[in-house]
Structure 1
């Protein structure tokens, strides 16, 4: 397998550049990319050190690939001395956008992810606390404050999805596991009926669910394939019976689950 080195350079956290770079290089499945993230390159000295670091590692004849989101023109000029294929991510879009909008950009460092500039920071942290406090059916008395309540069998991805929705979008997400007792009643628990308009279901392939549960409680009834098949079948029946939208999480990342859920539910991203 071919190997290439990728450098991700930023004058802030590097999250923007890393997200974009990963989206691009992931399209080349036959190449193994070694990624180095260099954040907070916000001075001439740091920019020079970064160029020296990159150039000193160009030994194998393959030039590295460089993604950067450094705003300051003087630092960007220094980085142009790096011996690699460079993508100046922000500036390649800012120039034509300035022409289109008839206005110069403010050239603010860390605008997308900086705490000081992010008016939604506290809201997102509060949303994370809400997700943690309302995980797995705890504190159902606070469901009136939830933007969404994820429901489904145990271990289908509810908790990580709630945390991602909170941290990334500031969404107040609670989750509630549908248990054997709920299935036997063939009905939604009372606490969920009261908030039916907030419910969104997650399901999963039984064989995948069995593998996940066996990591936690190996060789138990809880993790058996038959138990997983029964639970998934019955819970999907509950979703359909009550008209609850749901998605299958089997082959999806948390990001994909969240994006699909937001699209289907119409929830606002902050």
Structure 2
């Protein structure tokens, strides 16, 4: 990476997988840009958010562009992160109010729901597929190949 490439921060109150996935999907639309990437998971307190915002501000102070992708649901934590000197892409906060309006319901703002058991049968099926793929990787096992 060069000292002038943009820096992508993927911020989350969970593992960061959703922020990484959505953020990377967006920046792939700019193939001429090479991003330095940093994932910062488990931002669950305002104090931790202040530390992360300071880290983003430190990058901005060097003249590099910090692009921040956030899936943090807590509004107080989100506000701290949005106050940093990075270009803030609020992947949840932007769309949740729209969904609340359309559904005439209030979001529960609980982190980690994307990877939870919203549909237990679908989740169990996915986990079984992952376990099967790992067990049979490169012919390591022939158990239940007929499946």
* Coarse TM-score class (shorter-chain normalised): 0.7 to 0.9
What CA deviation, in whole Å up to 9, does each residue of 1:162-198 have, x standing for no partner? Answer: xxxxxxxxxxxxxxxxxxxxxxxxxxxxxxxxxxxxx
1:35 aligns with 2:33: no
CA–CA separation in structure 2 for the residues paired with 1:102 and 1:64: 35
Name the Cα RMSD after superposition. 2.4
* Conserved 8 A contact 2:45-2:77: yes
Residue 17 (structure 2) aligned to one of 3, 12, 15: 15
SS at match of 1:6: strand
Q: Which residue of 1 aligns with 2:8?
A: 6
Q: Which residue of 2 aligns with 1:127?
A: 129
Superposition deviation, residue 57 in structure 1:
2.1
What CA deviation, in whole Å up to 9, does each residue of 1:192-240 have, x standing for no partner? Answer: xxxxxxxxxxxxxxxxxxxxxxxxxxxxxxxxxxxxxxxxxxxxxxxxx
SS at match of 1:67: strand
Superposition deviation, residue 133 in structure 1:
3.6
Closer, same or farther in 2 for the Cα pair 1:137/1:30, shift >3 Å?
closer
Closer, same or farther in 2 for the Cα pair 1:6/1:137, shift >3 Å?
closer
SS at match of 2:36: strand
Q: Which residue of 1 aligns with 2:52?
A: 50
Closer, same or farther in 2 for the Cα pair 1:138/1:106, shift >3 Å?
same
Question: Quick check: which has more Rg, 1 or 2?
Answer: 1
* Conserved 8 A contact 1:112-1:118: no
Closer, same or farther in 2 for the Cα pair 1:133/1:63, shift >3 Å?
closer
Within a 5 Å distance, the mapping from 1:1-270 to structure 2 comes to 3-114=5-116, 119=120, 123-135=125-137, 136=139, 138-139=141-142, 142-144=144-146, 146=147
Q: How many residues align?
A: 143
* Conserved 8 A contact 1:13-1:113: no
Closer, same or farther in 2 for the Cα pair 1:43/1:117, shift >3 Å?
farther
Answer 1 or 2: which has greater helix percent. Answer: 1
Superposition deviation, residue 123 in structure 1:
4.6
TM-score by length of 1: 0.48
Question: Is there any run of 5+ residues in structure 2 with no aligned partner, and where?
Answer: none
SS at match of 1:92: coil
